[in-house]
Structure formats: structure tokens, C-alpha cells
Structure 1
């Protein structure tokens, strides 16, 4: 069973499932979130959700699951795309194909 990854790349629905059940079944939208988190770190040097670096994983996951996300401070279309990819609700995220079109 999937038990999570580096929390700063983990989608809120994954964090919530792991907190509630100890495991998760990652949907494709979780990959979109993870890519958005990677792009954000690459563009700004900051992760999407703020929590203390030394916080235990459950505390980190609680911050992610509760949607305490920093504002995206990346310019232009890239910033708009990252913001959409990091939407708390997976239904509000673009598909990987839609993200690819913007990144071209």
C-alpha cells in the first residue's frame, strides 16, 4: 500500500487519507499537485505549504490536508498554472495534458 512521499509534494487528499487510514490510493490529480509543487519549489525556492522544517510528518500532513497553502508568487502564465495545479480540491486542478499545453 502507498503510504505517502515527501510531504511538500503530497496532495491534500493524499495527506488526509494517510492521516485517517495510514495509506492512500493516489489519483491522477495527485500527480498534477506534485508537479505543481515541484514547479513552485523550482521557481521560488519555497514549498507550497508552510510548516516548521523540523515538524513531525503528521504535523506536516495536517498542514497540507487543511489547505494552509502559501500564495503562489511566480509571474505570468507559469504562476497561474502552478496556482491551479496546487488547488486544494482535485477537481479544480488542470489535467496533465492541460498543464503540458501551458508549459509548451
Structure 2
């Protein structure tokens, strides 16, 4: 009947063993939290950099499009002035 009970010494050994296991689990959880924080910060930085690169690319494309439109507008303005002056020359008999 005495063998059915756990002795104080065995109980303390089990307690130490369980405490060690819980400490290991806590350490693992803390390491995972740190790793997740680092990964989260890294992802935030990557997203921020990617967003900035995308915005810069879009801005440069818009700027080049605006420059092309300026050149096209200038060409149309010159052609229109030449056409109007030619028409005016015909009307007033200069040509």
C-alpha cells in the first residue's frame, strides 16, 4: 500500500521536471514572438519600399506622358498657326 503513494522526493523531481518543461515552452513562445516581430517589421519595411518604388515608377511614367503631351500640343499649335496664316494669306490675297 505504501507503493501506491508518491513520495515527497519523487513529487519534487516531477515538479522540477514539469517546471523545466514549462520554462522551455515559455522560452520557445518568447523566441517565436521575437521572430514574428522581426518578420513583421521586415515585411512592413519591404511593403513600404515596394510602395515607394511603385509610386516613383508611376510618377516617372506620368511625367514622361505629360512631356509627350506637351510636345504633341506644341506641334499642333505650330501646325494650327501655319494653317491659319495660310488661310488668312489666301483670303487676303497675299499668296
| TM superposition score category, shorter chain reference | under 0.3
Q: Name the TM-score, length of structure 1 as normaliser.
A: 0.18
* Greater relative contact order, per chain length (Cα 8 Å cut-off, separation 6+): 1
TM-score by length of 2: 0.20
